[in-house]
Amino acid sequence: MQVIVRDNNVDQALRVLKKKMQREGIFREMKLRRHYEKPSERKAREKAEAIRRARKLARKRTEREG
């Protein structure tokens, strides 16, 4: 990942970098890798995330339709 610093404005470059990292999911992955996660825990977490995503999508769909 690369960010160009313009006019020695490091603060703006940091903001851009953080936004790119957030979009790529790097912060989330770093948080998950802080501690070892057993394969069974990983499977359960991923299943719960999938259910959450499906419910959110269904909620948005019903909201749009009526």
Q: pLDDT tens digits, residue range 22-47?
A: 999 999 999 999 999 999 999 999 99
Model-level pTM?
A: 0.61
Alpha-carbon dihedral of residues 50, 53, 54, 59, nearest 10 degrees?
160
Q: Evaluate if residue 1 carries a pLDDT over 90.
A: no
Reported confidence tier of residue 66, pLDDT bands at 50, 70, 90: confident
> Greatest CA separation found in the chain?
51
